[in-house]
Each structure stands twice: as structure tokens, then as C-alpha cells.
């Protein structure tokens, strides 16, 4: 898989910037849908700032659809040029295809954030962001309260997540199973779960070998003597049960929490006596 073995780069999701000691401002820019396939629109916007010697420190443009307006966030450093803020709004507003411009002033020293986007979506479905201190507290507190019973809780939560994820992708992209596997690999890393690699799959025997690199769940438990994937293991079980149209049994045979280079899962169909 192309992501395995290459240098991975962090990707900041937040719609905020923090550069202490700098007068960082933001600009929300609404762009009409007609600009989507017109070359040079972004260049003209950037020239408004560069012509005044103002550096752009962050640019975010969410994915859009062909007939929907484009939402753009630009954060710039106005240190010693804060009086230019309103002038920039006026100049940007005059550009063709620009429907609105909103100035975003800093909240505190070097920190500016935009609060005009809700809900957050992935393929049109609402999504939330959990930073590591939050999801780590969720998972670890379950073990503190429920002990090893938390394993079953996380597994069955993941099981329903996986079933629903498969059904949603099938609705969006159709029922071609090979294509759905490739899409699942692509989306797994985009939502931050880790890198998913389908090492081997047998549709007739309903068996598979799956590896996950950089699992967000298992990295919480370094130096463990046990495999620690339960939420993700359940998610894979639910997803593959829908794919095979038969409940599966899934075992984690390698785990980064035990010092292995990746988490590896062996999947097989459940026999009748295991139902």
C-alpha cells in the first residue's frame, strides 16, 4: 500500500491558527459555484494579500460539489499592518465570483478561530472530532470502570459502527466489493484511525488477513502483554460481516501495543455452533 513505509505527515483539521507574538487575522470568503472550474480565481485572491506584502499563513478550502458555493478560510499575518484589515475586506469583495467576505479578528495573542462551520461533514454526513486527550479518556476510563468487561463493550460498539459504515458506503458507491474495499482503505486513514491494508481476502471462503499501521486505539497501550484492539476489531468484524453477508470471527494476532510493527487481524466466517 502506498502509505506503508513512507513518511507520514500530520494534517491539522482545526479552523484556527495560533502563532504567539503575531497579529494573525482570518478571512472567511464565500465564492460562487461558477468559480469552481475557472482557473486563476485563487491567484487573484492571493494577489490581494501579496500586493500589500502580507503573508498567508494558512489556507483551507473544504471539498465542495459542482453546484454548491465554495467556502474558503485564509489566515494572514498582519503584524504591524492591522490597519489594513478593513481595506483587505473591501478589495476582496470587489473580485469577480466573491459573494461575501467576513473579517475574523484574533481572540487572544496570536490565536484566531472561525466558528461559522457546523455541522462538520464527511460525504454529507455529520462528523465530530475527538482530540487524543478526549478519546484516550473515553477508552481508558471504560477499563477503569468496567475492567476487562470494557473489551466486550468496545467490541460491540465497533461491530455496529462497522455494519453502518459498510451500508453507508454501499449506498454512496454501489455494491462492487473490490471497489468498496479500496474506498474503505482510503477513508480509514482520512478519519484518523490508522492505515488499513487488506493483505489477503477470499470472498468464497470468507477469510481475510488485515493489517493496521498506527492504530489510534492500540497506541494508547504501549508495552502491553495483550492485543488491545477491541473497538477497531469490532468495526472490522461488522464491516466484513456485511461484505460477506455472513457473521465473521476476527482475532488480533499481532499488535503494536505488544511491540509488533503493526496490528494484524485474521478473519474467518463464524461456524453455526459459534453463532
**208 close to 202: Cβ distance less than 8 angstroms:** yes
- Rounded CA gap, 200 and 86, in Å? 58
Taking the C-alpha atoms of residue 206 and residue 177, their distance in angstroms, rounded to an integer, is 13
The model carries a pTM of 0.87
pLDDT band per the 50, 70, 90 thresholds, residue 124: confident
Would the CA dihedral through 101, 107, 108, 111 be positive or negative?
A: negative
The string of pLDDT tens digits covering residues 137-163 is: 999 899 889 988 999 999 999 999 999
CATH superfamily, region 131-274: Trafficking protein particle complex subunit 3 (3.30.1380.20)
Would you list the domain boundaries of the chain? 16-118, 131-274
Residue pair 261/4 in contact by the 8 Å Cβ criterion: no
* CA distances to 32, 154, 179, 213 from 3, in Å: 35, 27, 18, 9
Which whole number is the average pLDDT over 255-268? 97
Q: What is the third-level CATH fold of 16-118?
A: Alpha-Beta Plaits (3.30.70)
**H-helix segments, 213-264:** 231-244
The 8-class DSSP code of residue 108 comes to B
Amino acid at each position: 500500500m502506498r502509505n506503508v513505509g513512507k513518511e507520514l505527515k500530520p494534517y491539522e483539521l482545526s479552523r484556527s491558527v495560533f502563532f504567539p507574538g503575531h497579529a494573525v487575522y482570518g478571512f472567511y470568503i464565500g465564492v460562487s459555484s461558477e468559480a469552481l472550474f475557472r482557473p486563476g480565481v485563487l491567484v487573484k485572491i492571493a494577489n490581494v494579500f501579496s500586493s500589500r506584502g502580507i503573508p498567508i499563513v494558512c489556507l483551507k478550502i473544504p471539498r465542495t460539489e459542482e453546484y454548491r458555493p465554495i467556502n474558503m478560510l485564509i489566515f494572514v499575518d498582519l503584524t504591524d499592518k492591522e490597519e489594513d484589515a478593513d481595506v483587505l475586506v473591501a478589495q476582496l469583495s470587489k473580485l469577480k465570483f466573491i459573494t461575501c467576505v467576513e473579517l475574523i479578528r484574533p481572540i487572544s495573542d496570536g490565536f484566531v478561530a472561525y466558528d461559522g462551520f457546523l455541522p462538520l461533514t464527511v460525504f454529507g454526513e455529520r462528523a465530530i472530532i475527538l482530540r487524543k486527550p478526549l478519546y484516550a479518556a473515553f477508552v481508558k476510563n471504560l477499563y477503569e470502570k468496567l475492567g476487562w468487561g470494557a473489551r466486550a463493550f468496545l467490541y460491540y460498539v465497533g461491530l455496529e459502527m462497522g455494519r453502518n459504515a459498510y451500508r453507508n458506503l454501499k449506498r454512496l458507491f454501489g455494491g462492487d466489493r473490490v471497489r468498496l474495499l479500496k474506498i474503505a482503505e482510503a477513508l480509514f486513514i482520512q478519519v484518523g484511525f490508522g492505515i488499513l491494508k487488506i493483505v489477503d481476502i477470499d470472498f468464497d471462503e470468507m477469510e481475510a488477513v488485515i493489517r493496521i499501521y498506527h492504530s489510534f486505539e492500540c497506541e494508547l497501550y504501549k508495552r502491553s502483554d495483550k492485543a488491545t484492539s477491541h473497538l477497531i476489531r469490532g468495526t472490522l468484524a461488522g464491516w466484513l460481516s456485511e461484505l460477506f453477508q455472513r457473521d465473521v470471527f476476527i482475532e488480533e494476532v499481532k499488535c503494536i501495543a505488544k511491540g509488533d510493527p503493526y496490528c494484524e487481524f485474521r478473519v474467518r466466517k463464524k461456524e453455526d455452533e459459534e453463532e
